[in-house]
Structure 1
């Protein structure tokens, strides 16, 4: 079952589609869907452009934008330290 970010179930989606068809008619639904698709694509492109501009600006200012890399290094270091301390001890059930 596919869940949307708004947690709408399949039955609710079917009901919404039924209402849309009843209000706008079956011949207008593809046109509406096309318009929504274009709008979503425009929004996605604008978001990607903003992300790119922020990244470029941060790089010019010398700001580290890859925080996750540093966090991953620290986690890996902690794992190695734990393995060194525990050594070959195995948990027995």
Structure 2
């Protein structure tokens, strides 16, 4: 199974991780991972807030909200992808 993220394959990710370890040291990696995790959580929360405001606004205006279900599906797919990426980080902490 060959997974790519932003057109980066496994060997490239390994080289990037090696460079990160060389630059920051192994003791800083958990701190960096926590910072990334917090950033991802903030993005997720902001996305949920925006989605909630859009839904409330559309309902107040009496707009057809069927398209919101499609947007929700897309947002949930992005959340799942983010969870898939951050899953190994969360398990190691």
Unaligned runs of 5+ in 1: 70-93
Q: 5 Å matches for 1:4-83?
A: 4=5, 6-67=6-67
How many residues get paired?
Answer: 68
Higher relative helix content: 2
Which TM-score applies when normalising by structure 2?
0.67
CA RMSD of aligned residues (A): 1.6
Which TM-score applies when normalising by structure 1?
0.67
Q: Which runs of 4+ in 1 moved over 6 A?
A: none
Larger radius of gyration: 1
Which structure has more relative contact order (CA 8 Å, sep 6+)? It is 2
